[in-house]
Amino acid sequence: MNSSKLLDKAVEQFASLPGIGRKTALKFVLHLLKKNAADVDAFLQSIADLKRNIRECRICHNIADDDLCEICADRKRDTSVVCVVENIKDILSIEATSQYNGLYHVLGGIISPMDGIGPADLHIQSLVERIEQEEIREVIFALSATIEGDTTGYYIFKKLKHKEELIISTIAKGISIGNDLEYTDELTLGRSIVNRVKFSMNE
């Protein structure tokens, strides 16, 4: 397609990234061509290093540079609360809110019979063991508000409900901040009325 096979190959590789077409891929490649060799080497090295050296946290299955991820290794975090998420992207999203100081547990997916993913494919057993062995006060489900998310939460809930002192909670569902009621779907709006909270001027 272009006048250089080397260029074509690099463009093709960038175009395989999610959401990137050939035009944007070409822009990236031409950008790298303009950079000096050391900068391009640093670019390539960072990806090679990541791919070669990245590990999975022994406790929570988050990605980690060592045996433990930085969150599990952080002495300042509240080790008595575990937030259960589907994948590491969800950890990043929750961390970005600065509203949570506990630990995490990455399931590595969600129960989805349609996609052939059952409980055994997820890190559920290690979560149950973690709760049996460690002093955990509360488990928070931060799963998608979908049938699969609810199913997964319910499955784990059944595995944990015998622990009488354990608090099992799930993140609140309601209207998005900044959203008009008019454009909120009925299910969400209904849930937000049922789960209403005491009005406070601080919110």
Q: What's the min distance (Å) between Cβ of 3 and its own copies?
A: 4
> Contact between 42 and its own copies (CB under 8 A)?
yes
Question: Among residues 21, 30, 125, 167, which is the contact residue for its own copies, using CB under 8 A?
Answer: 30
Token pair 């799963």 is found at: 143
CA distance 56 to 20: 28
- Which of 59, 62, 107, 152 touches its own copies by CB under 8 A? 62
Write down the least CB distance from residue 16 to its own copies, Å: 8
Are 22 and 13 within 8 A, CB to CB? no
How far does CA 33 lie from the centroid of its chain?
34
**HSE of 86 in the Cβ direction (CA atoms, 13 Å)?**
19
Is residue 53 within the footprint of its own copies (CB under 8 A)? Answer: yes
Residue 8, helix vs strand vs coil: helix
Number of residues that bind its own copies (CB under 8 A): 48
The runs of H, that is alpha helices, within 55-165 are 70-73, 88-97, 124-133, 147-160
Site for its own copies in 63-122 (CB under 8 A): 63-65, 69-71, 88-89, 91-92, 95
The binding site for its own copies (CB under 8 A) comprises 2-7, 9-10, 12-13, 16-19, 24, 26-33, 37, 40, 42-44, 46-51, 53-54, 62-65, 69-71, 88-89, 91-92, 95
